[in-house]
Each structure stands twice: as structure tokens, then as C-alpha cells.
Amino acid sequence: MYGMIGKITAAPGQRDALIALLLRGTEGMPGCLSYVVAKDAADADVLWVTEVWDSAQSHQASLQLPAVRAAITEARPLIRGFEKTAETVPAGGVGLPA
Amino acid sequence: MYGMIGKITAAPGQRDALIALLLRGTEGMPGCLSYVVAKDAADADVLWVTEVWDSAQSHQASLQLPAVRAAITEARPLIRGFEKTAETVPAGGVGLPA
């Protein structure tokens, strides 16, 4: 499995709009086992994306899906910063295949 | 919903043993919507825990479950460092209830 933890800083006041974009078109992404978009509880401009895929290839391929490309294009102006906090190798857990 | 992203540094050579402990007894934790234990892809001693709960109360209550308490007690000697990277308010995503 392949995992990623990303920290995104939204343009001021744009976090909710950005979250809506990031959640749009995420159904039916082949190989996606978990994809969570969450507000940082302390910083009103920060959100976190934590992802688990069956492989790094599936993750890469998802970036070419029309719905994902459109969402990324629309989201760009709302993003002030992006930090890839970690790339991971998920070992297991609740909500993942055993 | 309540979410947490934690970075754990294992004692040298103890990451796999620690992962096994952290995954043990995680089935059937009331209110747990997602709980992923993952190796950092770059640092051989680091692992990440990303969690989503239906509420902060459910997360707190889980820490009192016998299986979780036992796992934490056994895990302590294998942990060199713990950093709560973020507490979050999950907005949605793949693998979570709509």
C-alpha cells in the first residue's frame, strides 16, 4: 500500500471552498482505500489530506482522472501552501483491507 | 467527527514490533471510523497514526478499553518519541460515512 499525509494552507477565508473541491469527484478513484480531508482544529486556514492507496501507481493514475484534474485546476488559486508531510507505507488498521 | 495525526519514533529496530502492538485490539473500537498505522517511507524508525472518530469522546473512551490500555503499556518501552502533528475536524472523504 501507499500512503500520503499532506498539509494544505488555504488562501484566507477559502478553506471551506477548498475542502468542497477536494472532496468533489473522489468517489470511484481506482485503488483508493482511504482519502480523508480534514480541517486543522487550531489553524483556520489549514487542512490535512491523509490518503491510502493500494499502490503508488494507483495514486499517480488518479492525478490523471478528469474529475481530479478539474478539481486541482479549480483549487490552485485557493491554495497558499502545500507541504507533503510524509509519504508512508500503510501497515493496516481500521477501515483498510486486512 | 474528530481526527488526529500522530508521528511516533520507535526505539531503534523496534518499529515492526510497535506496529504490531498498535494494530492489536483495534477491531471493534466504538466510534472509530478510520485508524491507519503506516511506516514513514523515508525514516526507518518513524511511523504515523492517522485516526478518524465519530467524536472526541469516542476517541477518549477508546483509551480506557482494556485491549488498548494493554497495548499502550506494552508499547511504551518501544517508543522513543511521540508528536501530535495535528488534531483535526474531518470533513469527509473515501472510507468515511457521507
Give the lowest-confidence range in A4-13, A50-59, A83-92, B23-32.
Answer: B23-32
Residue of B nearest to A87 (CA): B41
What's the mean pLDDT in B48-75?
95
What's the mean pLDDT in B8-20?
97
Contact A37 B85 (CB under 8 A): no
What's the mean pLDDT in B29-33?
95
Kindly list the structural domains of chain A, giving each domain's residue range(s) and its CATH number in brackets, ordered by start. 2-88 (3.30.70.100)
Q: DSSP characters for chain A?
A: -EEEEEEEEESTT-HHHHHHHHHTT-TT-TTEEEEEEEEESS-TTEEEEEEEES-HHHHHHHTTSHHHHHHHHHHGGGEEEEEEEEEEEEEEEETS--
Among A7, A34, A48, the residue with its CB nearest the CB of B95 is: A34
Among B7, B19, B86, the residue with its CB nearest the CB of A48 is: B86
Residue type, position B57, single letter: Q
Q: Which residue has the cell 468542497?
A: A20
- Give percent of chain B above pLDDT 90: 91
At B27, the pLDDT band (50, 70, 90 cuts) reads confident
Chains A, B: CB pairs < 8 Å:
129
Using the predicted structure, report yes or no on whether residue A35 has a pLDDT greater than 70.
yes
- The whole-number pLDDT of residue B98 equals 67
CA distance A34 to A81: 23
At A97, the pLDDT band (50, 70, 90 cuts) reads confident
Residue of A nearest to B56 (CA): A41
**B17: its cell numbers:** 514490533
At A28, the pLDDT band (50, 70, 90 cuts) reads confident
* Interface pTM, i.e. ipTM: 0.94
Model confidence pLDDT, tens digit, residues B71-97: 999 999 999 999 999 999 999 999 887
